[in-house]
Amino acid sequence: MNVQPAEAPDNRATLVDRENRNTVGEAFVDNARMSCRHVDVYYGDKQAINGVSLDIGCNEVIAMIGPSGCGKSTFLRCLNRMNDTIDICRVTGQITLDGKDIYSKAIDVVPLRAQVGMVFQKPNPFSKSIYDNIAYGPRIHGLVNNKAETDEIVETSLQKAGLWEEVKDRLDEPGTGLSGGQQQRLCIARTIAVSPDVILMDEPCSALDPIATAVIEDLIDELREQFTIAIVTHSMQQASRVSQRTAFFHLGDLIEIGSTSQIFTQPRHKLTEDYITGRFG
């Protein structure tokens, strides 16, 4: 038989072994809004994050995934110094926002947390009216001088959060009276109201039904045009839907980072493959 020899490139070797703890993938980008280098986090003697380095690009949504206890939420909370509130927590390494070290002694965490806002797992509106939930931030940060300016920020923020049409006729009613999905969008509007650069979201849809989740995911896609977003999620499908880049954490290590489509179709590390295909968790 006159058969050409098969010359198949053996691409199977590209999967990195489970035991290898070095980060695989493209951790850095050209247009970084936040840069993290060699970040370690300790709770007392226990190290929760091990030398993580990555960039968060301007106007991108980066998803952080990994099993419970992998350090993804701990890492997220480092990005606006939320861990400062935990006495035994110590953060080393460098995290910059637009080139400025956010852990510098010169940094005031109150404006920092406006610049890097946060939305939590469980909606946590203030026990105030819908209007005041939004107006509170701009007032304390001195972003408004009069009622007209406040009205404008309240309306704009609620519009950006896709909530305006649903609440515009009841702005005086308590925020806590809204549905779970509406409360979460109220919290997003509250974060937007102080004009952040970055929005951190820690499992923002885990307490919501599928419809409310879809509304938030749609909103995240719209917000990306104006803001940079880092989201921690346990839902692989959500990460694949809303983000452009994905970072996979395991036992405090950043195992793999890359474009979301690559991570979910062709992960390079065996641990990533095993995790996202449901072989451990």
Partner 1 sequence: MSPKHIVRSYDADLDRAKSKIMEMGRSCVAQLDHATKALETNDSVLAKRTMKGDELINTLYSEIDGFTVRLLAIRQPLAGDLRHIISGLKIATDLERIADYSANIAEHVIGLDNVILEQPVKAMVEMADKARSMLSDAMEAYRNVDIFKATDVWHRDDEIDRDYSQLLSQLRQYLTDDQNNINAFTHMLFVARSCERIGDHITNIAESIYYIETGQFYHGNDAAGE
Cβ neighbours of residue 236 closer than 8 Å, sequence gap 6 or more: 65, 264, 276
Q: Looking at beta carbons only, is 4 or 145 nearer to partner 1?
A: 4
Closer residue to partner 1, CB minimum distance, 65 or 199? 65
Question: Distance between CA atoms of 85 and 54, rounded to whole angstroms?
Answer: 24
Q: Which stretch binds partner 1 (CB under 8 A): 8-16, 143-151, 154-162, 172-180?
A: 8-16
Contact 65, 241 (CB under 8 A): no
C-beta neighbour count of 148 within 10 angstroms: 8
For the purposes of burial, counting CB atoms within 10 Å of the CB of 120, is it exposed (0-12), middle (13-18) or buried (19 or more)? middle
Kindly state the tokens that stand for 155: 């309306």
Pick 7 or 169: Cβ nearer partner 1: 7
Does 181 participate in binding partner 1 (rule CB under 8 A)?
A: no
Are 218 and 196 a contacting pair, CB within 8 Å? no
Residue type, 71: G
The reply on whether position 7 binds partner 1 by CB under 8 A is: yes
Site for partner 1 in 203-262 (CB under 8 A): 236-237, 240
Q: Which stretch binds partner 1 (CB under 8 A): 78-86, 154-162, 202-210, 265-273?
A: 265-273
CA-CA distances (angstroms) from residue 52 to 159, 199, 238, 260?
A: 36, 20, 23, 19
Find the part of the chain contacting partner 1 (CB under 8 A) among 2-10, 111-119, 131-139, 146-154. 2-10
Stretch binding partner 1 (CB under 8 A), from 90-98, 103-111, 153-161, 272-280 = 272-280
Secondary structure of 34-96 in the HEC alphabet?
EEEEEEEEEECCEEEEEEEEEEEECCCEEEEECCCCCCHHHHHHHCCCHHHHCCCEEEEEEEE
Binding status of residue 69 toward partner 1 by CB under 8 A: no
267 lines the binding site for partner 1 (CB under 8 A): yes
- 53 vs 266, which CB is nearer to partner 1? 266
Cβ nearer to partner 1, comparing 99 with 281: 281
Residues with Cβ within 8 Å of 18's Cβ and at least 6 positions away in sequence, in order, are: 269, 270, 271, 274
Query: Binding partner 1 by CB under 8 A: which of 38, 100, 168, 279?
Result: 279
Q: Kindly state whether residue 17 participates in binding partner 1, applying the rule CB under 8 A.
A: no
Task: Please give the size of the binding site for partner 1, defined by CB under 8 A.
Answer: 29
Q: Indicate whether 19 belongs to the interface with partner 1 (CB under 8 A).
A: no
| Under rule CB under 8 A, residue 9 binds partner 1 | yes
Q: Binding segment for partner 1 among 20-28, 80-88, 136-144, 267-275 (CB under 8 A)?
A: 267-275
User: What are the residues binding partner 1 (CB under 8 A)?
Assistant: 1-12, 14, 236-237, 240, 264-267, 272-274, 276-281
